[in-house]
Amino acid sequence: MDTFTTLTGVAAPLHLVNVDTDMIIPKQYLKTIKRTGLGVGLFSEMRYMEDGSDNPDFVLNKPAYKGAPILIAGDNFGCGSSREHAPWALLDFGIRCVISTSFADIFYNNCFKNGILPIKVTPEQLAALFDDAARGANAKITVDLESQTITGPDGGSISFEVDAFRKHCLLNGLDDIGLTQVKADKIKSFEEKLAEERPWA
Amino acid sequence: MSTSAPRTLYDKIFDDHIIDRQEDGTCLLYIDRHLVHEVTSPQAFEGLRVAGRRVHAPSKTLAVVDHNVPTTDRRFGIDDPESRIQVETLAENAREFGVEYFNELDKRQGIVHVIGPEQGFTLPGTTIVCGDSHTSTHGAFGALAHGIGTSEVEHVLATQTLIQKKSKNMRVSVDGKLPDGVTAKDVTLAIIGATGTAGGTGYVIEYAGEVFRALSMEGRMTVCNMSIEGGARAGMVAPDETTYAYVKGRPRAPTGAAWDAARRYWDTLRSDEGAFFDKEIRLDGGSLPPIVSWGTSPEDVISVEGLVPDPDLIDDADKRDAKKRALAYMGLVAGTRITDIPVDKVFIGSCTNARIEDLRAAASIVRGYKVREGVSGMIVPGSGLVKLQAEAEGLDAIFKAAGFDWREPGCSMCLAMNADKLGPEERCASTSNRNFEGRQGFKGRTHLVSPAMAAAAAIAGHFVDVRTWPRAG
């Protein structure tokens, strides 16, 4: 997994609440057996016209937001299915940070496994960030995970919360499985105890 | 936490599976059961292969194809090349890593959340995960069950554990007695209507009260299944005699002395008197009507007696815009009577409502009637065993005589990954769980309802109140 330390760039504003994972990556893209190449399907039902050309009204197609590495969206981002194809599609498209007031649980979790930082802010902070983002390419923001701050184009700064363990893994690009396998002895003793106390399980 | 403090059902199961707890509260949790399907597992098996890892506990892992299989005759293979590759990949991975696998021709094949309970793989007091958000279904047995992403699927395959932080506790109590024609599906839709689609985020829900005690296991599964639609990680119902009666005798259920020992443990799995819940919701079951969703979020629900709501009455601008967008997408006008909304298609199936009891409920409405001309109705049993049971009871004959399509088991039009889907602007009464934009097909319009309500809509051609349905005997 790639590390996440700091990120500076344009933030694309997506003025929608309850953005679900079917919206982020529709089911026709789930037939892949790979993790890569999903960027083409990101938000496809909103991003493309019926003839397959780009929808000029969709935020990520607007010249000001081309290549934006940060997405700002309304409440409850990522609700719906557990498909990790959603963060894979974001990552493949080039988005490394999503900012919202709230995230669905499984999506939030999946982001951290893929080097994407989801940031929860207050509704007031979100409104301010939407205002900044409205200024397009002239308003880059900087996300610093180490200091847990978002710095706006005019120098104002917002601090955010992130779980210490997840932060550590993101900063260092750590593989969860490797970390868990260090505890192999503990897993083994748990299994021995389980075989004794709840053998049916 | 001292074990003498009163604990919730969730607290108890969580505590009993902690292998290790870090100072910040991050836990390593043991996973008793892992269900695997073809869509969210290929990348996980590939990850194991690349790292030279094996499956830690193959006997605690069960694989099945469901999302991507056609629901027509499968004896001659799968036409769609991408679907076929995904199905074949699961078969190969199961063989290579030594995991038991039900293929598309196995009579035990079916939707992963139907077959787990059916096989007795799902047991009370266990931790159960699957790369599928509707894993919350298994909480109906008093298990801690939830969906995970593919990276976590790989983690569980490799270590039989999951890195977890404890969620908060929520209790949803529904007392009273459900009126005739009002079902578990209506209860769960009413709950999500009350809490909102993010109301459960960060919580594990325990469903308590007379209504859940009186529900069958099928009904409890319907409710727990949709916990995720309210944002909750998991939903659960404490095990009781109804649970034990369902589990006993299933292929993988314990027997003999092991059954007795398991029962003694399962009997301890209820929330202690005075256990703390961070959030409590109460509904009166006796006053619940049949429910129909009108928008593009499972929180957009209303009584069958109601009218399509008016977004202009919402104060919050973002919410108002979202609901206006939903109405435009659904092609509905505020103030329309729900019973005046016509349907083009009816889908009875999915991990929410494709069990034998659901098919019985639908058949009891359909018996002696015909599907309305111009309406297309599809019944997709949750598993091969449900299909066989329904056929043994003659339910298939009732559906076929009415003009319904009787299909092979799978996820089908719930998520429309296979050929079963809505066309643009087609309107569907669906027993599934999500009415998101495009969920059942590009620009398709989904109304979530119970099996009885879906069946009645197929006959009438529009939504009707099943409480007043004239059964043809």
Q: What share of chain A is helix, strand, coil (3-state, %, to 5)?
A: 40, 20, 40
- Measured in angstroms, the CA of B473 and the nearest CA of chain A are apart by 40
The reply to whether B411 sits in an annotated binding site is yes
Smallest Cβ–Cβ distance between B133 and the set A31, A45, A80 belongs to: A80
Structure tokens at B112: 């992963």
Burial class (CB within 10 angstroms; exposed 0-12, middle 13-18, buried 19+) of B210: middle
| B280 and B354 both lie in a single domain | no
- Would you tell me which residues 36-55 of chain A have a C-beta closer than 8 angstroms to some C-beta of chain B? 45
- Helices B42-51, B81-97: crossing angle, 10 deg rounding: 40
Q: Write the DSSP symbol of residue B410.
A: S
Residue B1 lies in a domain: no
- Measured in angstroms, the CA of A172 and the nearest CA of chain B are apart by 17
User: What gap in Å lies between CA A134 and CA A11, rounded to an integer?
Assistant: 9
B144-147 sheet: strands from edge to edge: B100-102, B61-64, B33-36, B127-130, B144-147
Residue B383 lies in a domain: yes
Beta bridge partners of A98: A71, A118
User: What gap in Å lies between CA A178 and CA A71, rounded to an integer?
Assistant: 30
What is the distance, to the nearest Å, from the Cα of residue B15 to the centroid of all Cα atoms in its chain?
Answer: 26
What is the number of H-type helices and E-type strands within chain A? 8, 7
Beta bridge partners of B161: B30
- Would you tell me which residues 137-166 of chain A have a C-beta closer than 8 angstroms to some C-beta of chain B? 163-165
The whole-number pLDDT of residue B59 equals 97
- Measured in angstroms, the CA of A136 and the nearest CA of chain B are apart by 21
Element at B406 (helix H, strand E): strand B405-406
Cβ–Cβ < 8 Å for B279, B170: yes
At A7, phi and psi to the nearest 5? -145, 125
Look at strands A97-100 and A117-120 and give their pairing.
Answer: parallel
| B155 and B60 both lie in a single domain | yes
- Helix/strand/coil for B42: helix
- Would you tell me which residues 334-373 of chain B have a C-beta closer than 8 angstroms to some C-beta of chain A? none
User: A105 contacts in B (CB within 8 Å)?
Assistant: 201-202, 231, 233
Cβ–Cβ < 8 Å for B399, B366: yes
Task: For residue B250, give the amino acid letter.
Answer: R
In this predicted model, what pLDDT tens digit does every residue of A119-157 receive, in sequence order? 999 999 999 999 999 998 888 999 999 999 999 999 899
CATH code for the domain of B358: 3.30.499.10
The whole-number pLDDT of residue B3 equals 54
User: A177 contacts in B (CB within 8 Å)?
Assistant: 51, 53, 154-155, 158-159
Cβ–Cβ < 8 Å for A145, A136: no
- Helix/strand/coil for B356: helix
The residue among A22, A23, A29, A31 with the most chain B CBs within 10 A of its CB, best to mutate, is A31
Cβ–Cβ < 8 Å for A117, A4: yes
Cβ–Cβ < 8 Å for B239, B212: no
- Residues in CB range of A37: below 8 A, 6 or more apart: A92
| B70 and B138 both lie in a single domain | yes
| B249 and B321 both lie in a single domain | no
Q: Does B321 touch chain A (CB under 8 A)?
A: yes
| B199 and B346 both lie in a single domain | no
- B214 CB neighbour count, 10 Å cutoff: 13
* B151·A84 Cβ contact <8 A: yes
User: What gap in Å lies between CA B217 and CA B441, rounded to an integer?
Assistant: 31
| B193 and B303 both lie in a single domain | no
- Helix/strand/coil for A198: coil
| B316 and B459 both lie in a single domain | yes
User: What gap in Å lies between CA B181 and CA B132, rounded to an integer?
Assistant: 30
Average pLDDT per consecutive 10 residues, chain B (473 residues; last block may be shorter): 81 98 95 98 97 97 97 92 96 98 97 98 98 98 98 98 97 98 98 96 98 98 98 97 98 98 98 98 98 98 98 92 97 98 98 98 98 98 98 98 98 95 97 97 97 98 97 73
B161-164 sheet: strands from edge to edge: B18-21, B27-30, B161-164
* B275 dihedral zone (left: phi>0; alpha: psi -120 to 50; beta): beta
Beta bridge partners of A151: A142, A157
User: What gap in Å lies between CA A155 and CA B26, rounded to an integer?
Assistant: 34
Look at strands B161-164 and B27-30 and give their pairing.
Answer: antiparallel
Cβ–Cβ < 8 Å for B335, B458: no
Burial class (CB within 10 angstroms; exposed 0-12, middle 13-18, buried 19+) of B218: buried
What is the distance, to the nearest Å, from the Cα of residue A74 to the centroid of all Cα atoms in its chain?
Answer: 13
Give B279-308 as a DSSP string: EEEEEEGGGPPPEEE-SSSTT-EEETTSB-
Cβ–Cβ < 8 Å for B359, B379: yes
The reply to whether B351 sits in an annotated binding site is yes
| B199 and B245 both lie in a single domain | no
User: What gap in Å lies between CA A44 and CA B35, rounded to an integer?
Assistant: 30
Nearest alpha carbon to residue B135 among B27, B34, B13, B66: B34
Q: Write the DSSP symbol of residue A18.
A: S
Q: pTM higher than 0.95, yes or no?
A: yes
| B97 and B200 both lie in a single domain | no
Residue B445 lies in a domain: yes
H-state helical runs in B120-255: 150-159, 184-195, 210-214, 217-225, 241-247
The length of chain B in residues reads: 473
Q: What is the ipTM of this complex?
A: 0.96
User: What gap in Å lies between CA A104 and CA A190, rounded to an integer?
Assistant: 31
* B159·A187 Cβ contact <8 A: yes
| B277 and B365 both lie in a single domain | no
Q: In chain B, how long is the greatest CA-to-CA distance?
A: 64
H-state helical runs in B248-402: 256-266, 317-330, 356-366, 384-392, 395-402
| B56 and B162 both lie in a single domain | yes
What is the distance, to the nearest Å, from the Cα of residue B102 to the centroid of all Cα atoms in its chain?
Answer: 20
Number of compact structural domains in chain B: 3
Strands (DSSP E) contained in B48-194 are 61-64, 100-102, 127-130, 144-147, 161-164, 168-175
Task: For residue B240, give the amino acid letter.
Answer: D
The whole-number pLDDT of residue B473 equals 58
Cβ–Cβ < 8 Å for B35, B116: yes
Smallest Cβ–Cβ distance between B318 and the set A74, A80, A163 belongs to: A74
Q: Does B53 touch chain A (CB under 8 A)?
A: yes
H-state helical runs in B160-209: 184-195
Give B65-83 as a DSSP string: --SS--SS--TT--SSHHH
CATH of A6-175, one of 3.40.718.10, 3.40.50.720, 3.20.19.10, 3.30.420.40: 3.20.19.10
Smallest Cβ–Cβ distance between A180 and the set B159, B262, B437 belongs to: B159
| B39 and B175 both lie in a single domain | no
* A187·B160 Cβ contact <8 A: yes
- Helix/strand/coil for A58: coil
The reply to whether B428 sits in an annotated binding site is no
Look at strands B279-284 and B168-175 and give their pairing.
Answer: parallel
User: What gap in Å lies between CA B68 and CA B39, rounded to an integer?
Assistant: 8
Residue B124 lies in a domain: yes
* A148 dihedral zone (left: phi>0; alpha: psi -120 to 50; beta): left
Q: Write the DSSP symbol of residue B454.
A: H
- Measured in angstroms, the CA of A69 and the nearest CA of chain B are apart by 22
User: What gap in Å lies between CA B396 and CA B404, rounded to an integer?
Assistant: 9
Domain with B416, as residue range(s), is 293-468
CATH code for the domain of B235: 3.40.1060.10
Residue B172 lies in a domain: yes
* B442·A45 Cβ contact <8 A: yes
- Measured in angstroms, the CA of A153 and the nearest CA of chain B are apart by 25
The whole-number pLDDT of residue A175 equals 84
The residue among B16, B54, B126, B150 with the most chain A CBs within 10 A of its CB, best to mutate, is B150
Confidence of residue A193 (pLDDT cuts 50, 70, 90): very high
User: B328 contacts in A (CB within 8 Å)?
Assistant: none
Beta bridge partners of A150: A143, A158
Beta-carbon-side half-sphere exposure of residue B265 (alpha carbons within 13 Å): 22
The whole-number pLDDT of residue B134 equals 98
